[in-house]
């Protein structure tokens, strides 16, 4: 018989995030019971929380081999694959869990959650309702239903559902964070801040609440509120429509430039529009790190940003300052090298704003390469007085390509 006291102790340690101590106890139990699938499951959970996904999968596969009829093991694999951003496999495994045991509300709630990620909002709502038919008090299902309703534009029903979730568990950190995001999408920044604060009060390490608090603090600035509305709007689209919008924006701007060049009468009206569209396009890349830079001045907000967000913000701020000083220097001195420095500094804000996006290695490498090519272009202009030398052309093409590559990975997620 397994030592229930030690097992209970291990579970408590896991709940307290004391994973190394829990792993040691489970290791002792495993030495006595090497073929216990539940112990393997607990070890998988520990490694999942430690973000060692490879080891977590190896362990849960061993548990499944020992007990292929245990639905929780497949539920675990679904969670694992969603964390790995493989939604197809996550959905496959949650369906297997449901096929084995179709009476668990949490399984249906998680399936509905995956549908939210896929932006299949109607299906998400239907599956969340199935979860609530099994257990009308399931917090995860209530939250998922609330979000699906919000995305479908049924705001009153969404609010009533999240109110029901809060009534079931007034101190649930996830519910407060989820409600905060819903309020932020509706534009109620003040109420959103209150719910993110409540969430962090109950769970100071909640990434869902921390991210929401960061966005809500930045949304106090009117320009960022506009950007946030745009982000929610385009974020609710499926990938097909996101690409249609991006390509439509690009080719539409190109068409306007062509008309302005060929029609002198329309040019004075079109060029201001083209300029405005350019500002809008560039601002969607840089406004987030610039917002983070402003957040660093906030005594509370600066503690919410992680190291990568701070690096990205500082780099973007330095680029913006360099671009402004270069512009002033050009008008004061007249050396064309300052034009290239201003252009490179200004456009480098685009890759610096996204350099820590996934896949991280690709974006960091791309950003550093663009920085080196950009510096080479600046040196070339200063030494040869040639604005459009080969390094500058390569740099311009690289920045242009970066925007489509970055959008591809964002939309893919």
Tokens of 373: 């090519």
67-119 pLDDT, tens digit per residue, is: 999 999 999 999 999 999 899 999 999 999 999 999 999 999 999 999 998 98
Structural domain ending residue among the three candidates 99, 116, 134: 99
Distance CA 71, CA 56 (A): 17
pLDDT at 41: 93
Distance CA 150, CA 142 (A): 12
Q: Which domain holds residue 49?
A: 1-99
Backbone angles phi, psi at 88, to 5 degrees: -65, -50
Looking at residue 413, what DSSP letter applies?
Answer: -
pLDDT at 413: 64
Rg (CA), the chain: 26
pLDDT at 127: 97
205-257 pLDDT, tens digit per residue, is: 888 898 899 889 888 888 888 888 888 888 777 777 878 888 888 888 888 88
What residues contact residue 50 under an 8 Å CB cut-off, 6+ apart? 19
pLDDT at 8: 87
Local structure of 96: helix, strand or coil:
helix
Residue 149 lies in a domain: no
Assign residue 77 the CATH number of its domain: 1.25.40.10
Residue 314 lies in a domain: yes
Residue 110 lies in a domain: no
Number of domains in the chain: 2
Residue 311 lies in a domain: yes
Residue 378 lies in a domain: yes
Residue 12 lies in a domain: yes
Task: Please answer whether residues 327 and 338 qualify as being in contact, where contact means their C-beta atoms are separated by less than 8 angstroms.
Answer: yes
Residue 123 lies in a domain: no
Structural domain ending residue among the three candidates 75, 99, 123: 99
Tokens of 366: 């791309």
Distance CA 392, CA 381 (A): 9
Distance CA 22, CA 241 (A): 47
Structural domain ending residue among the three candidates 99, 127, 154: 99
Residue 240 CA from chain centroid, whole number: 19
Residue 118 lies in a domain: no
């Amino acid at each position: 018989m397994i030592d229930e006291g030690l097992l209970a102790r291990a579970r408590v340690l896991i709940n307290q995030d004391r994973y190394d101590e829990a792993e040691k106890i489970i290791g002792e139990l495993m030495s006595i019971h090497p073929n216990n699938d539940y112990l393997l499951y607990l070890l998988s959970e520990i490694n999942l929380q430690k973000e060692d996904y490879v080891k977590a999968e190896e362990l849960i596969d061993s548990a499944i081999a020992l007990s292929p009829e245990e639905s929780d093991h497949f539920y675990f694999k679904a969670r694992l694959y969603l964390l790995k951003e493989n939604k197809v496999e996550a959905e496959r495994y949650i369906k297997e869990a449901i096929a084995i045991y179709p009476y668990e509300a949490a399984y249906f709630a998680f399936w509905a959650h995956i549908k939210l990620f896929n932006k299949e909002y109607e299906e998400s709502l239907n599956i969340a309702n199935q979860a609530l038919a099994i257990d009308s008090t399931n917090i995860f299902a209530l939250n998922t239903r609330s979000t699906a309703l919000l995305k479908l534009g049924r705001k009153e029903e969404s609010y009533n559902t999240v109110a029901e979730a809060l009534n079931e568990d007034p101190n649930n950190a996830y519910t407060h964070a989820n409600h905060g995001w819903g309020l932020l999408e509706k534009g109620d920044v003040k109420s959103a801040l209150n719910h993110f604060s409540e969430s962090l009060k109950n769970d100071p390490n909640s990434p869902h609440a921390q991210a929401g608090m960061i966005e809500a603090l930045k949304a106090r600035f009117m320009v960022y509120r506009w950007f946030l509305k745009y982000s929610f709007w385009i974020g609710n689209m499926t990938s097909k429509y996101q690409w249609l919008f991006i390509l439509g924006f690009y080719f539409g701007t190109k068409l306007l430039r062509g008309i302005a060049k060929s029609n002198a009468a329309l040019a004075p009206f079109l060029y201001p529009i083209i300029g405005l569209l350019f500002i809008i396009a560039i601002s969607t890349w840089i406004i987030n790190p610039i917002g983070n830079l402003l957040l660093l001045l906030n005594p509370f907000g600066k503690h919410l940003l992680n190291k990568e967000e701070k690096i990205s913000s500082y780099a973007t701020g330095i680029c913006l300052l360099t671009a402004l000083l270069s512009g002033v220097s050009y008008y004061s001195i007249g050396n064309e090298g300052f034009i290239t420095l201003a252009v490179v500094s200004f456009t480098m804000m685009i890759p610096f704003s996204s350099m820590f996006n996934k896949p991280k290695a690709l974006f960091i490498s791309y950003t550093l390469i663009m920085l080196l090519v950009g510096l080479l272009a600046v040196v070339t202009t200063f030494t040869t007085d040639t604005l459009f030398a080969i390094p500058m052309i390569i740099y311009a093409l690289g920045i242009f390509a970066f925007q489509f590559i970055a959008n591809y990975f964002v939309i893919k997620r």
